[in-house]
Amino acid sequence: MRNPNTQITALIKEKTLGLLMKKNPEQIGMRDIAAECGITATNIYHYYKDKDRLFQAVSLDCLNELNGRIKESVKGGDIREDILNAIGTFEDWCFENPRRALLVMQGIKSADDASEEMIEAFYVCNRTGGELLSRAVSLGLAKSDNVRLDIDILVSGLWGCIEAVLLKKSEPEYWENRKDFTGRFVDLWCKGIFTE
| CATH code of the domain covering residue 77 | 1.10.357.10
**Which residue blocks in 49-146 are alpha helix, DSSP H?**
51-73, 79-96, 98-102, 116-121, 124-138
163 and 111 together in one domain? yes
pLDDT recorded at residue 145: 97
Instruction: State the Cα–Cα distance between residues 74 and 133, nearest whole angstrom.
Output: 12
Same domain, 68 and 43: no
Closest to 137 in 3D by CA, of 125, 149, 124: 149
Residue 110 covered by a domain: yes
The predicted structure's pLDDT at residue 82: 98
Q: Which residues of 145-177 are buried (b: 16+ CB within 10 A; e: fewer)?
A: eebeebbeebbeebbebbbbbbeeebeeebeee
Rounded Cα distance, 149 and 130, in Å: 9
Amino acid 144: pLDDT: 98
Closest by CA to 155, choosing from 106, 96, 100, 99, is: 106
Digitized pLDDT (tens) for each residue of the chain, 196 residues in all? 456 677 899 999 999 999 999 999 999 999 999 999 999 999 999 999 999 999 999 999 999 999 999 999 999 989 999 999 999 999 999 999 999 999 999 888 887 888 888 888 999 999 999 999 999 999 999 999 999 999 999 999 999 999 999 999 999 999 999 999 999 999 999 999 999 8
One-letter amino acid at 86 equals A
Instruction: Let me know: does 129 contact 86? Beta carbons within 8 Å.
Output: yes
Asked whether residue 107 is domain-assigned, the answer is: yes
Return the pLDDT at 175: 93
Asked if residue 187 and residue 148 are part of one domain, the reply reads yes
- Which residue in 142, 122, 117 sits closest to 132, CA to CA? 142
What is the residue range of 17's domain?
A: 1-48
143 and 195 Cβ atoms separated by less than 8 Å: yes
In angstroms, rounded to a whole number, what is the distance separating the alpha carbons of residues 117 and 97? 27
82 and 27 share one domain? no
Burial of residue 6 (number of CB atoms within 10 Å: 0-12, 13-18, 19+): exposed
**Cα 142 to Cα 194: distance, rounded to the nearest angstrom:** 4
Write down the pLDDT at residue 142: 98
Q: What is the pTM of this model?
A: 0.90
Q: At what angle do helices 178-193 and 79-96 cross, to 10 degrees?
A: 150
State whether 72 and 92 are in the same domain. Answer: yes
Domains in the chain, number: 2
